[in-house]
Amino acid sequence: MQVSEAEWTDTEKTIARTAFDQAYGREIEALLKQVRADASTLVELSDLWRLHDFLSAKRHQVEGKYDYQYAALPFVFAGLVKDGWLHLQELEGLSKDKLAKINSLANM
C-alpha cells in the first residue's frame, strides 16, 4: 500500500510539501499557545510535573508524526486531516488514488 517517491510528480511534491508545512505550522503554533497559557496558571509543583508529562508525550508524538518520507506521506496526511490540522481540499492536485487513500485512512 506504500507510495514510493517515483510515484509523486513534481507538482504533487510541491502540493505535498506546502500542505505538510502548513499543518506543521498550525499544530506547532497551537501547541506553543497552549503551553504559554497552561504555564501562566502554574501554582503547584504537581502542575509543573503535569506540564512535564504533557511535553514528554507531545515531543514523542510530534517528532514521530512529521516524518517527510514519500512512502509514509499518505499516512501522515490522513492523520493530519483526522486531527484537524489539514483540510483534504489543501491536498487537491494530488492524484485521485492518493486522495482516495488519504481520505479512506482519515476516516478509519
Query: For binding to a copy of itself (CB under 8 A), which residues are involved?
Result: 28, 31-32, 35-36, 38-40, 42-45, 47-49, 51-52, 55-56, 59, 62
Least spacing, CB of residue 45 vs a copy of itself, in Å: 5
| Nearest distance, CB of residue 15 and a copy of itself, angstroms | 24
Q: How far is the CB of 74 from a copy of itself (least distance, A)?
A: 24
Q: Under DSSP, is residue 95 helix (H, G, I), strand (E, B) or coil?
A: coil
Beta bridge partners of 94: 92
**Owner of C-alpha cell 506504500:** 2
Nearest distance from C-beta of residue 76 to a copy of itself, angstroms: 17
Q: Is 60 helix (H, G, I), strand (E, B) or coil?
A: helix
Three-state secondary-structure class, residue 27: helix
Residue 99 burial (CB count, 10 A): 16
Residue placing its CB nearer to a copy of itself in the complex, 2 or 56: 56
CB nearer to a copy of itself: give 12 or 27.
27
**Can you read off the three cell numbers belonging to residue 33?**
499557545
Compare residues 31 and 105 and give the one whose CB is closer to a copy of itself: 31
- Residue placing its CB nearer to a copy of itself in the complex, 6 or 43: 43
Contact 104, 79 (CB under 8 A): no
